Amino acid sequence: MSKRLYAVIGLGRFGSAVASTLIALGQEVIGVDDDEDRVREMGELTTNALQIDATDIRALRQAGVGEADVAIISIGENIEASLLIVMQVKDLGVQTIIAKAASPLHGRILEKLGVSRVIFPEREMAERTARSLVIPNALDYISLSREFSLVEVGVPASFIGHTLRSIDLRARHGLTLVAIKRQVGGKEETVVSPQADEVLREGDVLALLGSNEKLALIEAIR
């Protein structure tokens, strides 16, 4: 995994969680906020935690935000500040900007400003919760469209010891197996585009692509 520099602007619950996860993944993070307590807490994880006014482009420049590969703007509640910071970060030359939005209108304005990705944390968590209710054994998922998703599920017991050819997921269940994740010698191994003679093992995790309707039926496979 290549190391990149991320600037996380706004160290509330969402921003601090993003920053902490990036640091845990071995990435370099600049965390900035105008709240002294938040900066102090983040300072326990990184030396690059700074208390500044993020609407001041000079303060952002001095903090090194302009050197970041990616900027995450986690100021959703104060819409005016959020939009101003986006413009300041763009002026600093940051190419990839991800911003948290408080409402659909806020999100549309962020998109008009050229933000690379707009995030609605509460809505995305609600969608994740709803999907976990429909597909209880899903370990993770990526929504590709309103109708299709990529879902990770534990291998059904009836599949263990059988080849992909004999299971024939596409014909019988309308699903495409993209990859298999498994533990080998204490390390995680990923088999991408597995061959038809691949034998599924206990503990395997299957990455399945298909319609949400078909994926919802995974629970019925035993």
Q: What is the CATH number of the domain that holds 57?
A: 3.40.50.720
Q: Are 221 and 173 in contact (CB under 8 A)?
A: yes
Domain of residue 146, residue span: 125-220
pLDDT value, residue 44: 83
Write down which residue in 119, 134, 163 finishes a domain: 119
**Three-state DSSP class for residue 187:** strand
Distance CA 69, CA 66 (A): 8
pLDDT value, residue 123: 77
pLDDT value, residue 1: 54
113 & 146 share domain: no
15 & 109 share domain: yes
The domain tally of the chain equals: 2
89 & 129 share domain: no
92 & 140 share domain: no
pLDDT value, residue 139: 74
CATH number of the CATH domain containing 155 = 3.30.70.1450
Helix (H) or strand (E) holding 32, with range, is: strand 28-33
Rounded to two decimals, the pTM is: 0.67
172 & 201 share domain: yes
Neighbours of 168 (CB within 10 A): 12
Q: Which of 129, 114, 68, 118 is nearest to 93 (CA)?
A: 68
pLDDT value, residue 125: 74
Residues 6+ apart with CB under 8 A from 124: none
66 & 171 share domain: no
For residue 220 the two structure tokens come to 């019925």
Tokens 């061959």 sit on residue: 195
pLDDT along the chain (222 residues), means of 10: 88 92 91 93 86 95 96 90 96 95 92 94 75 70 80 91 94 93 90 94 93 82 70
104 & 24 share domain: yes
